Amino acid sequence: VKASRLFLRTKDANDPNLLKFLDGNNYKVNKDKTKFGRVKQVLQGIFTGLGAFGLMVVLLALMLFSFYLQLMIARSKDNLELLMTLGYSPGWLSGKVSGQFVPAYVTIVLVALLCTQLLQWSFHHYVLADKPELSPFIDWTVIAVAVFLTILSVITNNRMIKRLLLKL
């Protein structure tokens, strides 16, 4: 006797790996049970695309800020040459110039993290009704990326300013 039906008991019928396996082997599934899994796959694709777009925006913003620093140094060329003639080292000057922007970097990153945390909590509380599937707090990797981008910005801008000062 050939089996015509198979009953599976799973923890998550919407698991994307299970759905891919079932689709790959041409198994028919009760669509009511797996409807949200397909929606989940589509949403994951959309959010991955948004994440890539967000990363591109961050990189473009960093490039724009470096162009602003180059313009600022070009406008202050005479004053910076005078300071170097008086004996100030390019390393010290680059630290002072780039150090002016560190509070702005930190403020922008902290405000962005605060907004992200607020959105995460709001989504968890109002949309998911405090279900345990999603943490109400942002993941530690988000904070690590924010710290990494801040440190990267400070270091690259400091090096760029020092390099431009050495060209004077």
Q: What is the pLDDT of residue 106?
A: 87
Q: What is the pLDDT of residue 11?
A: 80
Contacts by 121-125 with C-beta closer than 8 Å and gap 24+? none
Q: Tell me the C-alpha to C-alpha distance, in Å, between residue 132 and each of 79, 124, 125, 126.
A: 59, 9, 10, 13
Banded model confidence at residue 5, pLDDT cuts 50, 70, 90: confident
| Separation CA 94–CA 22 (nearest Å) | 60
Residue 122 within a domain:
yes
Residue 28 within a domain:
no
**CA–CA–CA angle 57, 115, 120 (5° rounding):** 100
The dihedral through the CA atoms of 4, 10, 15, 18 has a sign that is negative
Instruction: Name the residue among 103, 101, 83 with its Cα closest to residue 92.
Output: 83
Banded model confidence at residue 165, pLDDT cuts 50, 70, 90: confident
DSSP state of 127: I
Q: Which residues have C-beta within 8 Å of that of residue 91, sequence separation ≥ 6?
A: 162
Q: In this prediction, what percent of the chain has a pLDDT beyond 90? A: 20
Q: What is the pLDDT of residue 1?
A: 65
Residue 161 within a domain:
yes
Amino acid (one-letter) located at 161: I
30 has pLDDT over 90: no
Residue 45 within a domain:
no
Domains identified in the chain, total number: 1
Query: pLDDT tens digits for 88-116?
Result: 888 888 888 888 888 888 898 899 999 99
Helices (H) and strands (E) in the chain, counts: 6, 0
Domain of residue 98: give its range. Answer: 76-167
Residue 62 within a domain:
no
Contacts by 5-10 with C-beta closer than 8 Å and gap 24+? none
Residue 109 within a domain:
yes
The dihedral through the CA atoms of 63, 68, 74, 76 has a sign that is negative
Residue 35 within a domain:
no
Residue 89 within a domain:
yes
9: three-class secondary structure by DSSP: coil
Q: In this prediction, what percent of the chain has a pLDDT beyond 70? A: 95
Q: What is the pLDDT of residue 118?
A: 95
87 has pLDDT over 80: yes
- Whether the full predicted model's pTM is greater than 0.85, yes or no, is no
38 has pLDDT over 70: no
